[in-house]
Each structure stands twice: as C-alpha cells, then as structure tokens.
Amino acid sequence: MKIFNLIFCVLFVLFAALQYNDPDPYIWMPIYLYSATLCYLAAQKKFYPKAYLLGIIVYAAYAAYLFFDKTGVLDWFSEHGAESMVQTMKAEKPWIEESREFFGLVILIVVIGINWVYMKQVVKKKE
C-alpha cells in the first residue's frame, strides 16, 4: 500500500498543479491536495478515519451535483452523445468540463475508499 499511496500522492499533487489555469482553481487545488495529504499520511502508516469519511462525503456530494447539474454528466451523456472528453484539453463546452470534474472526483473517492477499507482491516488486526 505504501507504493500505491506514494504514486497517488504524487499524481494528486500534479493534478492540483494543473488546476492553476483552471477557471476554478480555488476549488480544485484544495480537493486534490487534501487527497494527496491523505495518501501521504497513509504511506507513513498514519490513518485518520474521520478525514477519509469527510473526503468521501464531500467528494460524493459534489459528484452528485456535477452528475445532475443541467450541464453535467447526464447532459453530456444524453444530449451530447457522450462525445469525447479528450479531444482538446481546453474545455470549451460546460458538459465536458463538468464530466471531467465528475470523473476526477470518482477517482478521488475510489482511492480514498481503498485506503479507508485497508485502514479498517489494519485496525481490526491490531485489536
């Protein structure tokens, strides 16, 4: 798990750095850096269950918003035929930008979720 967490820590820091030119870096930089911090701490065998749960809840709520928003994932899928999200990195269409953000949150939820499950198993073994 140490390698897993170090890889995602570095990736999330890079993702945060790439948000610098985004229209809303004040939202996305902290989101990615929060997860990077949790991955770094997990690599150091330091687990904070409430921090994981907070991240999962906040990310899931924001993902749900992006999914159902009028220019969100449902709109991208139903009205725009799930057109490619990687044609250009400049997101000129709001449904592309929100869909990318949604899938970014899904990645964050999965990584934090894996760490949370792993942490629970480690704690059970110690008891």
Highest mean pLDDT among 73-77, 87-91, 92-96, 98-102: 98-102
**Residue 112 amino acid letter:** I
Q: For 89, which DSSP code?
A: S
The upper half-sphere exposure of residue 58, i.e. CA atoms within 13 Å in the direction of its Cβ, equals: 15
pLDDT digits (tens, 9 = 90+) for 1-45: 899 999 999 999 999 998 888 778 899 999 999 999 999 999 998
Residue spans per domain, the chain: 2-126
Q: Which residue has the higher pLDDT, 10 or 78?
A: 10
Q: Are 72 and 99 in contact (CB under 8 A)?
A: yes
User: In terms of pLDDT, which residue wins out, 57 or 76?
Assistant: 57
**What global pTM score does this model have?**
0.80
Q: Apex CA 98: angle with CA 16 and CA 30, to 5°?
A: 25
Nearest to 117 by CA among 67, 58, 71, 49: 49
For residue 91, pLDDT over 80 is answered with: no
For residue 125, the model assigns a pLDDT of: 75
